[in-house]
A and B are shown apart, each in its own frame.
Chain A
Amino acid sequence: MSDERLRLSYDRLLAVRAAMSSAREGCPEVDAMLEVLRREGTEDARLQLLDHIMACPFCQAEFALLKTAGTAQPPE
């Protein structure tokens, strides 16, 4: 199975999970996501948080938004 097909299946899986439930139990605080973006904390802790973020459709979208704001380079 190609990488593209795997990505498509994973994206659809998260879409189904989002449609089935909007519960946010176990989701990290927004500030914890910011710490991941700033590479704060231990590597194990960051990997554990990223594991949840990338498996949770709600956290994934929020993380992308934070990353967008954090990586937008201001113009000259």
Chain B
Amino acid sequence: MVARFAERVRYIGVQHGLAGSDVEDLVQEVRLRLWKALASGEKILAAPASYIHRTAVSAALDLLRRRRARRETPARLSRPSGLAMLGESASADRMLEELELQEQVGRAVDALIPARRSVVRMYLAGYSREEIADLLGWSEPKTRNLLYRGLADLRERLTAMGIGPESLG
């Protein structure tokens, strides 16, 4: 049961774009806690699924608290920078153009009205409309409406900055 739960945590971690080390740390911590608390394989097997679930959430919280205390950077952020991701062959002009575009997107998002801005940020960060609705406790139509208006507003602001639909492909 614990092994299957670990697989599930790993699978969702990958889906959320987490680095493997983050998820492995969490899985390891859950295993340790279950062994400390229940002391035998039989007891772990008999433990309710909800208990293991709560153990995982609690382990994740402690993992993050320890990181904060040590001022560690989440492993996911060892990703290449925006410039490096353009590839070695990118020209200096292209890199500058890309950096400028990123800054303009950032400024345009910052200028959105608060409710739309949060939703747009979540969407740009990779959350689906369903996930956004679930996190905020909103209906699907309300979420869709705020996201649609937010993205339209964002594009309008970018166009005013001279960034059209064709910008950088």
Contacts and interface: CB of A to CB of B under 8 A. Distances in A.
Interface residues of A, number: 50
Looking at chain B's contact residues, is the secondary structure mostly helix, strand, loop, or mixed?
Answer: helix
Given A58-B74, A70-B57, A48 B82 contact: no
B168 interface: yes
Interface residues of B, number: 70
B111 interface: no
A15 B79 contact: yes
Contacts of A2: 165
B17 to A, nearest CB: 7
A55 B123 CA distance: 11
Contacts of A76: 49
Contacts of B75: 61
Nearest to A13: B102
